[in-house]
Amino acid sequence: MQTSYILENSFRDFVILDQDTELYEFTKAIKILEYKEQNNLNEGVFGDLLDKVSGAIKKKIKFIQELAELSKQKLSDLLLMFKDKKVFQFFKVIGFSIKKVLEMFKLGFKTFKNIEGIIAKKIAELGGVKYIRKNLHLLDEFFNEHPILKKIGGAAVAGLLIYIWLNMSYGVDLEWSMSWEDMINALMGKFSLADLFASDAGIKMLIYLAAGVLTGVSFPWPGSLMQQISLGLIIGLYRTIKPKGVKIEIPK
């Protein structure tokens, strides 16, 4: 069976992919998995194919396969969705690692629990969630009263965002409106908590937090935390990108 064409590192590929090595590797991983699916390769033949690719590409192939297995989604649908460059940008930030998302998720949960009481108290002082928008000009005062909030940044904010994003992915009545750019910037540590809450999307997040929408790490179906996070990740990407021709099974 001729497989050499799928492994070629052509100059044209690099130009098209803006000479981003990791984007090239991720795109190549998708192509290889598509080739496996289209030709129904058995594990032996596929293993021989993998022996010819770099370790970096193998890592990305394993990551994609792991996401499909844990989330129990069709690989063909995921491959189609993963062609969106925004997905690559997100995966690049999390290091193509579900374990890293798990670590950030746990950090986000811990961060949320540390600030939950402070936020809830302030919202109550402002007259409750119903009046929060009218009173948010007092936000600077809020952060001045609690310097610890201003110090929360980098990985903690990224973890908090992932925690909120994945939890909101499960809510049928909630749509997380944070722009993808804000998400990526936060995950790269370019946002502080104060910066986040000062934006329109951050205000919405603050309302959800204060309203008690997020009350802890609990999901409405069984499975390991890795499975839950993997499925939450896929659902979150699906609802954010809204790819055409992709079918994702969302538990009800």
pLDDT band at 107 (very low <50, low <70, confident <90, very high): confident
E strands present in 108-247? none
Residue 9, Cβ neighbours under 10 Å: how many? 11
- Could you give the CA distance from residue 239 to residue 237 in angstroms, rounded to a whole number? 6
Indicate if the pLDDT at residue 16 is higher than 60.
no
How much is the pLDDT for 60?
96
Beta bridge partners of 153: 192
Indicate if the pLDDT at residue 70 is higher than 50.
yes
pTM of the predicted structure, to 2 decimals: 0.76
Q: What is the mean pLDDT of residues 30-36?
A: 95
pLDDT band at 80 (very low <50, low <70, confident <90, very high): very high
Indicate if the pLDDT at residue 37 is higher than 90.
yes
Indicate if the pLDDT at residue 182 is higher than 90.
no
Structure tokens at 129: 């969630």
Top pLDDT among 176 and 65 is at 65
- Could you give the CA distance from residue 87 to residue 98 in angstroms, rounded to a whole number? 14
Indicate if the pLDDT at residue 40 is higher than 70.
yes
- Could you give the CA distance from residue 64 to residue 49 in angstroms, rounded to a whole number? 16
- Could you give the CA distance from residue 217 to residue 115 in angstroms, rounded to a whole number? 16
- Could you give the CA distance from residue 161 to residue 83 in angstroms, rounded to a whole number? 23
Distances (CA, A) of 29 to 18, 48, 60, 86, 204: 17, 15, 6, 16, 37
Annotate 124-141 with b (16+ C-beta within 10 A) or e (fewer). Answer: eebeebeebeeebeebee
